[in-house]
Amino acid sequence: MKSYPSHWIITMLLLTLISFTGCDGQSRKLTDKVPETKAVDQIVPVFIADSAYAYVAKQIAFGPRVPESKAHAACAGWLTDVLGRWADTVIVQEFKTRIYNKTALSGKNIIAVFNPSATKRILLSSHWDSRPYGDHDADPARRRLPIDGANDGASGVGILLEIARQLHSHPIQGNTGIDIVLFDLEDYGPPTEERNYFDEEMWALGSQYWSRNLHKAGYSAQFGILLDMVGAKNPIFPREYYSQQYASWVLDKVWRNAYKQGFGDFFVNKPGSPIDDDHLPINKVAGIPTIDIIHLDPNSVNGTFYEYWHTSGDSLDKIDPKTLGMVGQVVMATIYGN
């Protein structure tokens, strides 16, 4: 994904002096305790953080999931098989698209459908590909090498796989169906040194394709939640700018659930930078009000994202199961209590 640089970020950062310090001046830390939450009609299952972590580790074990690589093909097969155990239907939406340099690449959006007959639907999504370039690496020799994308991609997918497992074991009662979409070719935008030569529509290519070619004719959802960079230790999740513009009521719903569970120091009630991510075409083209839960840190070395964003350092050792558990439980509370 890409952020809006220069004057936009400077302006937003003045508005988003975000910290983990509470009223008592003490730094907040995640604990092992995940509170049990009651929805209106059923108990929200307990999200298993270690399970989500194992799914993250499995993705990393394939190697960088760069489109058209062997690792990418192997991971696609595994994701399809795993979701096939739990979902009512799994659809692999294969597509061709051109990346920033006009090269045509093949991609696969992987869609898992739960309770397909339900008319009220909720969309959950993340991207499963990984960046072909570590273009923000401190080591120039690594800037054209692919990265693991443990946080940037695999963390969100790991959470959604555990949610899929829970949905199979504990179906949502009533007329609510869930669609999990794993987008491909999100992170194949131009390298930093070439970015000024290309437009911004060269990111989020899988979600652009899906938004114009929905997996089911006439498909719509009440709302959507996108997960991106949701696995690092002590994250900061502000109210991302476009999420606020297109789906403020969804932000309110999710952030309220976070506060109820004691996670208000991480889901901060402050504005975040505008991020060009998969939720943009979902909002603009598919017309589904969708938010982006994304770690944004104006104090990081890159001024916007998680410290190891688009570097070789975005590896499994940076993933914290406690963060996966927090985000997973908040999303579960939202979909079960909707």
Q: Pinpoint the alpha helices (H) of the chain.
A: 6-15, 49-61, 70-86, 155-169, 205-212, 241-260, 279-281, 321-336
Q: Flag the least confident range among 193-202, 274-283, 323-332.
A: 193-202
Q: Does position 27 have pLDDT exceeding 60, yes or no?
A: no
Q: Does position 271 have pLDDT exceeding 80, yes or no?
A: yes
Q: Flag the least confident range among 16-30, 55-69, 256-270, 291-305.
A: 16-30
Q: Does position 35 have pLDDT exceeding 80, yes or no?
A: no
pLDDT of 265: 97
What sign for the dihedral angle of Cα 223, 329, 168, 180? positive
- Pairing verdict, β 267-271 and 223-228: unpaired
Q: Does position 41 have pLDDT exceeding 70, yes or no?
A: no
Contact 120, 63 (CB under 8 A): no
Q: Does position 224 have pLDDT exceeding 70, yes or no?
A: yes
Both structure tokens of 170: 């504990």
Burial of 15 (0-12, 13-18, 19+ CB in 10 A): middle
For 213, other C-beta atoms within 10 Å of its C-beta total 10
d(CA 29, CA 18): 15
- Which of helix, strand or coil describes residue 126? strand
Q: Flag the least confident range among 2-6, 66-70, 163-167, 182-186.
A: 2-6
pLDDT of 196: 62
Give DSSP secondary structure letters for 60-110. HHT----TTSHHHHHHHHHHHHHHHHHSSEEEEEEEEEE-TTS-EEEEEEE
Q: Does position 305 have pLDDT exceeding 80, yes or no?
A: yes
Residue among 257, 255, 201, 247 at smallest CA distance from 224:
247
Percent of the chain with pLDDT over 90: 80
Task: Measure the CA angle with vertex 231, ends 200 and 318; round to 5°.
Answer: 100
Confidence grade of residue 198 (pLDDT, cut at 50, 70, 90): low
Q: Pinpoint the alpha helices (H) of 101-240.
A: 155-169, 205-212
Confidence grade of residue 192 (pLDDT, cut at 50, 70, 90): confident
Mean pLDDT confidence for 148-172:
98
Confidence grade of residue 229 (pLDDT, cut at 50, 70, 90): very high
pLDDT of 84: 98
- Residues 77-87: pLDDT tens digits? 999 999 999 99
Confidence grade of residue 201 (pLDDT, cut at 50, 70, 90): confident
Mean pLDDT confidence for 139-158:
97
Mean pLDDT over each residue of the chain, to the nearest integer: 89
Say which residue, 193 or 202, is predicted with more confidence: 202
Confidence grade of residue 30 (pLDDT, cut at 50, 70, 90): low
Q: Does position 23 have pLDDT exceeding 50, yes or no?
A: no
Q: Does position 248 have pLDDT exceeding 70, yes or no?
A: yes
pLDDT of 77: 98
Q: Does position 199 have pLDDT exceeding 70, yes or no?
A: no
Quick one: CA torsion of 301, 305, 310, 314, rounded to 10 degrees?
90
Contact 47, 84 (CB under 8 A): no
Both structure tokens of 153: 């991609």
